[in-house]
Structure 1
């Protein structure tokens, strides 16, 4: 079961597309974080969702929320995808131990070995304030993000 609002967000350290370790606790020191799990780089729905976030990044910046996207893809795949699509937010690899962070957040599809479309808005104190998990094949709604941002 995915984490729910009011629950503490598990801390983690994952590599970004440059191989640099990124710690959730360090991100939260600068304010709230929107953690967006997605199944696969270069897939249709995931590309559409993340391009929509890229094209509306000012909504998150204006709200003072750091956008971070996570998948079980390897660092090199995420780096190539980031370059192709021009994502300016962090893409983090939950490749090894495979899906450990997605599992901690309750959004790892254990049968298929990839993250589900789970999203968590985490306040600066490390508490989940809003979350949503969409079923396979269903993209997330940008307006739902905007509504959550307005409440933080």
Structure 2
């Protein structure tokens, strides 16, 4: 299910795979953000999705845009996963308080204790301009992110 109704993006402060705290607010006025929630590190669908993001990094990330990926795995699991896969973007840990950022974005699965596959394109002003939420088994399409980001860039809302 995708949405283009603009709404303010909830801020967060989460550790990345190296223990550095990353906030959404630090990008405000500076860069657009592609925020990708995923259920679990090391699983086949999640690994495939994040590899596709890595392969498409040039289209997603640059001087005007940051790519951030979030799961409820621990920072330590994120580090091993990132090192194993060679990801060149931050993997943020929504481990504790468990799922708080995922809940704020409406993508936390209470029964499974993990994030759903939620993706958000957030402009420089901190407004969600596009989002899609898929169920746990359903991979997302990288081209959808790229199209949404291009629309934000060309509308002038992202720069």
* TM-score between the two structures when normalised by the length of structure 1: 0.94
Shift of 1:63: 7.8
Q: 1:3 and 1:126, CA in 2 relative to 1: closer, same or farther beyond 3 A?
A: farther
Q: 1:133 maps to which residue?
A: 133
Q: 1:107 and 1:128, CA in 2 relative to 1: closer, same or farther beyond 3 A?
A: same
Whole-angstrom CA distance in 2 between matches of 1:96 and 1:62: 29
* Aligned residue-pair number: 152
Shift of 1:4: 6.2
Q: 1:96 maps to which residue?
A: 96
* Structure 1 SS opposite 2:137: coil
Structure 1 runs, 4 residues or longer, greater than 6 Å off: none
Whole-angstrom CA distance in 1 between matches of 2:146 and 2:84: 26
Q: Deviations over 1:34-74 (max 9, x none)?
A: 10000000000000000000011000135822100000000
Q: 1:11 maps to which residue?
A: 11
* TM-score between the two structures when normalised by the length of structure 2: 0.90
Whole-angstrom CA distance in 1 between matches of 2:15 and 2:62: 26
Whole-angstrom CA distance in 1 between matches of 2:78 and 2:64: 25
Whole-angstrom CA distance in 2 between matches of 1:3 and 1:105: 13
* Structure 1 SS opposite 2:8: coil
Q: 1:49 maps to which residue?
A: 49
Stretches of structure 2 that go unaligned for 5 or more consecutive residues are 153-159
Shift of 1:30: 2.3
